[in-house]
A = this chain, B = another copy of it.
Amino acid sequence: MTDVAESKQDRIARRQVDKFDARRTELAVATLHTLAELGYARTSLREIAQNSEFSHGVLHYYFADKRDLITEAVRQYEVVCVTKYDEVVATATSAEQLRDEFVATFFDTLCQDATLHRLWYDLRNQSLFDESFRADVLEIDSHREAMVWRVISRYAELRGGEPAGSPAVAYVTLDGVFQRALLHHLAGNADAVAQLRAELPDAIDLLVTKP
């Protein structure tokens, strides 16, 4: 077999793999939206397929089993979620601007992508029961922590201070506010959400030393 023939076969193989991966991703995204709507406990393969343009059998053509499908969907979430605040960090020129724009973005995505976020918490909790999700969950969680830390350390820098806690403490604090705001948002308790919004700047200030 010549080199030319080999590279031709390779091209064909690569194109097939690309098509395969593209459809896999497409189905994983459809899965993500169904999961966001129904939650992990109530999502069936037939329901997922119904929210896509394919039949339920196709899922076993692209995924080994349900776990494989949902794992891939979780990975898709990461792509959507993690880079939200980087632009805020990059463009802010003062501490107040960074803090205010962070808070605005925070509550923007809270309302805008509420169902997607509740899915994330759902899957993170699943990993407390199901070992097979843990590796992906821990990886996404660490990316979220790093994102928070970029915000907090830049904020401290702009304030001329230092971060007051560890990355872990900073993350769980802001993530905790988010989780709680999400709960009250979905419960229709707008007052509680507004109060958390009012308290968030102070919470951020607790995480950096006074200038």
- For this chain, the copies found in one complex come to 2
Q: Does A17 contact B (CB under 8 A)?
A: no
Residues of B within 8 A of A202 (CB): 165-166, 169
A110 within 8 A of B: no
Size of the A side of the interface (Cβ < 8 Å), in residues, is 43
Residue A28 interfacial (CB < 8 Å): no
Write the A116-133 contact mask toward B (1 if CB under 8 angstroms, else 0): 001001101111111000
| A122-B125 contact, Cβ under 8 Å, with A169-B202, A172-B173, A176-B176 | yes
A104 CB to nearest B CB, Å: 19
Q: In the complex, which residue of chain B has the Cβ closest to the Cβ of A123?
A: B125
Interface residues of A in 11-67 (CB under 8 A from B): 38-42
